[in-house]
A and B are shown apart, each in its own frame.
Chain A
Amino acid sequence: MSDSHAIAVGGHEEGHEGHPAYQRHHFVSMEQQNETVSFGMWLFLLTEIMFFGGMFFAYLLYRNWYYPAFATASNQLSVPLGAANTAILISSGFCMALGVWASEMRRRKTLVVMLVLTTLFGLAFLGVKTVEYKEKYDHHHIPGNNFSIAEFVNPAAYGIKEEPLAPDMAQKTQIYFFLYFAMTGMHALHMIIGIVLLFWLTHRAWRGDFTAGYVAPIENFGLYWHFVDIVWLFLFPLLYLINRHPLH
């Protein structure tokens, strides 16, 4: 952090003839530096694809094995909350994209406003997620000792319009909810890390670090934030919309 700060504000005392202060000395040109930095960022994101990919694959297999449990458990999630969160996250990504534009156009105040909006939408997403998690806690739908299959074996008694599941299949809803919490939880952790980074970036953007030609930190944080968006774009239909059409 102190190193990149030094670069951003021109901390080196000598040797900047012919290139900007934020260009590292081992790069021939800003073009080469930008290309290298983007390449590295994308390699990191590819490792993230593999990380989330493992969970998506587990989901694929267990959904095939225990489809009735997955469909019934999925219907206990709130589509309005999930869809609203999708819209909130897309809005957050849109503001982040505008932030990259503002940084490139060297508009300091616009950049700061966009980063703050990105943060607020991100916090709103986590707020909705908290409400959803709380609801699962209240219904004993968090896998473990206190998990209850009551709503799945006897849905009519709870006013739920679902086909009842046999007790052994109803137990498999725990696998669905385990994957639900693992996948949305890891996604939320990525967002929390992103929001912490956003506080730091907003502070530096306010100072003017990213509106004098040095766009890379904003650009690369944008890549990370959009990647987290993309994960959710798959999580939403896979977790919330397995079988929403009226039961046969």
Chain B
Amino acid sequence: MVQEISHDQAHDASNVTNPEHAEHHIVTPLQYTYVFVTLLFFTGVTVAAAYIDLKWANPVIALGIACFKAVIVILFFMHAAYQSRLIKMTIASGFFMFLVLIAMTMTDYISRAWGMW
């Protein structure tokens, strides 16, 4: 005989197979401090790198550092690292969608004057 459980029991925090279950994680001030110091450090790096002539690599490095900083802000300040898969997928799909829009617009832009540059 199947034992019946109430709706509340189905949302028991120990029920890790429930996709709605997201463990409530409290990030400590020490962890926030690590992120804070890392962000300040890479702000310094991005300014220093801008004053060195690295040809095409300058914007690549600048954007790379900006992306890295954005990712650690999203993961730790915004707690994405501790969220459920639903939230993680939502965030990832949003950025992916943005990249798709840029890529599709760029293909149109690049191909309009094909061979004329």
Contacts and interface: CB of A to CB of B under 8 A. Distances in A.
Interface in A231-247: 233-234, 236-238, 241-246
B20 A32 contact: yes
Contacts of B78: 222-223, 226-227
A232 to B, nearest CB: 10
Interface residues of B, number: 55
Contacts of A96: 77
Given A39-B87, A90-B36, A243-B58, A49 B95 contact: yes
B98 A49 contact: yes
A237 B98 contact: no
Interface stretch (A98-106, A138-146, A182-190): A98-106
Interface residues of A, number: 53
Contact of A90 (B20, B40, B62, B94): B40
A39 B63 CA distance: 28
Contacts, number: 138
B112 to A, nearest CB: 12
Majority SS of interface residues in chain A?
helix
Contacts of A31: 11, 13, 20-22, 24
B47 A83 contact: yes
A78 B65 CA distance: 20
B46 A241 contact: yes
A35 interface: yes
B77 A28 contact: no
Contacts of A234: 63, 66, 70
Given A31-B22, A233-B69, A101 B74 contact: no
A29 B101 CA distance: 37
Interface of B: 7-8, 11, 13, 20-22, 24, 26-29, 32-33, 35-36, 39-40, 43-44, 46-47, 50-54, 58-59, 62-63, 65-66, 69-70, 73-74, 76-79, 83-84, 86-87, 90-91, 94-95, 97-98, 101-102, 105, 109
24 contacts: A28-B8, A31-B11, A32-B11, A42-B94, A46-B91, A49-B95, A50-B98, A79-B47, A83-B44, A83-B47, A86-B43, A87-B43, A90-B43, A93-B73, A97-B76, A98-B32, A236-B46, A237-B65, A238-B62, A238-B66, A241-B46, A241-B62, A242-B59, A245-B54
Interface of A: 18, 28-29, 31-32, 34-35, 38-39, 42-43, 45-46, 49-50, 53, 57, 60-61, 79, 83, 86-87, 90-91, 93-94, 96-98, 100-101, 104-105, 219, 222-223, 226-227, 229-230, 233-234, 236-238, 241-246, 248
